[in-house]
Amino acid sequence: MSELRLSPRQYIIAITVAIACFLPPFIGEATNIALPNMLTGLGLSLGPDYWSLYGWVLTVYLLTSTIFLIPAARLADKYSKKLFFCIGVLLLGFGSLGIGFSTTGEMVLIMRAIEGIGNALMFGTAVALVASAVKVELRGTAIGVAMTGVFMGQLAGPLLAGALTDVVGWQAVYIVLCPIALVSFILALPFIPKDEPTDKGKYDWIGALLFIVGMSLALYGFSKQPNTEALFMLIAGIALLGIFLFYETKNKNPLIPVNLILHNRAFTFNNGANLLYYVAIYSMGSLVSLYMTNVWGITDALPRAIIVTTQGLILVLFTIVAGKFYDHLLPKSLMAVGAVLTVIGTAGCFLVGSASTEPMWLAAAVIFASVAAFGVGSLILTVIDRVMKNAPPKIATTTGLVIITIGMIVLFLCGESVAVWSMIAVQALFGLGIAIFVTPNSTAIMNSVTAAEYGMASGTLSTTRMLGMAISIGIVNILKNVFLSGDAAGYSSAFLQMLDGVVIASIVVLVVAIILSWTAGNGKSA
């Protein structure tokens, strides 16, 4: 029997989606690197206006993505996934181009909102389009090709943003995304087939309105705490979301399957762990870049980008290289290789030390840290995948969360005089933990529902991701209002206090996520 393969057209469809999926993670990673330069380029220095725009640049994108993702995905099911995908890609390109030509903070925020809406429309339909274009036997392959865009965006974002920011300017980071989005749009028009509506029921307009308004008020109110007006908005938003959830339990064609959430522990707990994971991890990207700029004085974007790239490099190693690496080695051999790589990588990190923040030395430290992390990961995954063959997904998910928590503890111990390689080690731990957590957790969520609920489960997974990011930035904004309300002269030490507060909050959140992950059950459908 001949091996099943994707046809040339199916490959083009998967690549088209991969190009589109490259954009959001690139935007996220690149913004973390370029943000300090953007703020100073707009004429801001450390002070209230600086931190206000910092918060809104991150918040408005996440807010619009979060509130529109589920309503847009359900509309796409009712009308056309291809149409919503194409509109989303165009909005991502237009918003990015607009940011590149922005001369004021207000213009940046409007364009970031457009990017967020585009992200919601595109990501809410991307995987479904690929899945519908191929046979069941080839869906894994096709989705794998499409998802390489996400990993490439995470890896390329910091490096390309750093290089473009230093050589051309922060505006180029966003302008370069417009032609990339245009390529995906042009390919989508002839190659992605027109899809038929999959939702024949009546669209839940009342539920969508309650969700959008309630989520907007709740997230905005939360992000602006402590403030009396914001507190009122937070309470009003939570009340509307409560009404929304009650309404959904009575609706025959609900926007969100509340009954599934209430009665499927594996689905609910693993999604809860996913939400809390993003609450804990998301703020670190921007804060670490600001830390290196305002505390260590690394004003050039490229050195900051090289340090942050450690996380993406490890993700790529584990998602692309590790699979074949593990398949060709016996457990004992794999553990031996892992131990050797751990020793070499760790020794290399100590040898490089904090000798210099020049790109060459930082790149060497990143390589050594990645080697060490790959070695440690090999040891861990040997135990999980080879020794515990019949172990439930919670073994891997909990292990990943524990590693991320260790990274947070190391970050908490960092101060002004800590060696540069320690920050690289933090990024390595984050990357390793993410690589071990994300895929098993996503698999556990999908395994907890029936085949008819796959689309809903995928949408819920994306929503918890975006909501976690939004809550993360809200926590940062709250602590910013607490610690950074004094004179600009004391902002460096105040920033360290704020960073410590964020890290402590992240550790607490991760502990709860670990509990949820461990008690989620076996990941099987109820």
Q: Does residue 454 belong to any structural domain of this protein?
A: no
Residue 5 Cα distances to 66, 139, 240, 480, angstroms: 36, 11, 49, 52
Structural domain boundaries enclosing 165: 8-199
CATH number of the domain within which 143 lies: 1.20.1250.20
Q: What is the pTM of this model?
A: 0.74
Q: Does residue 56 belong to any structural domain of this protein?
A: yes
Q: Does residue 57 belong to any structural domain of this protein?
A: yes
* CB-CB contact of 248 with 255 (8 Å): yes
Q: Does residue 144 belong to any structural domain of this protein?
A: yes
* CB-CB contact of 116 with 72 (8 Å): no
Per-residue pLDDT of the chain (526 residues; tens, 9 = 90+): 345 677 888 888 888 888 998 888 888 888 888 888 888 888 877 666 777 787 788 888 888 888 888 888 778 877 888 888 899 999 999 999 999 998 888 899 999 999 999 988 887 778 778 777 777 667 667 776 777 787 788 778 887 888 888 888 889 989 999 999 999 999 988 888 887 766 677 777 888 888 889 888 888 787 776 777 878 888 998 999 888 888 888 877 777 777 777 777 888 888 888 888 888 887 776 677 777 776 666 766 677 677 777 666 666 666 555 545 544 545 555 556 555 555 555 555 555 555 455 555 556 665 666 666 556 555 555 555 554 445 567 777 888 888 888 888 887 776 555 556 667 777 777 877 877 787 777 777 767 777 656 666 767 777 788 788 878 877 877 777 777 665 544 566 777 777 788 888 888 888 998 898 888 765 454 4
Largest alpha-carbon pair distance within the chain? 74
Q: Does residue 18 belong to any structural domain of this protein?
A: yes
Of the candidates 58, 60, 174, the residue with the CA atom closest to the CA atom of residue 117: 60
**Number of domains forming the structure of the chain:** 1
Q: Does residue 442 belong to any structural domain of this protein?
A: no
58-61 contacts: CB < 8 A, separation 24 or more? 58/31, 58/286, 58/473, 58/476, 59/219, 59/223, 59/470, 59/473, 59/474, 59/477, 60/109, 60/112, 60/113, 60/116, 61/27, 61/31, 61/112, 61/113, 61/115, 61/116, 61/119
Q: Does residue 91 belong to any structural domain of this protein?
A: yes
State the amino acid at position 466 in one-letter form: M
Q: Does residue 166 belong to any structural domain of this protein?
A: yes
Rounded distance between C-alpha atoms, residue 311 and residue 373, angstroms: 10
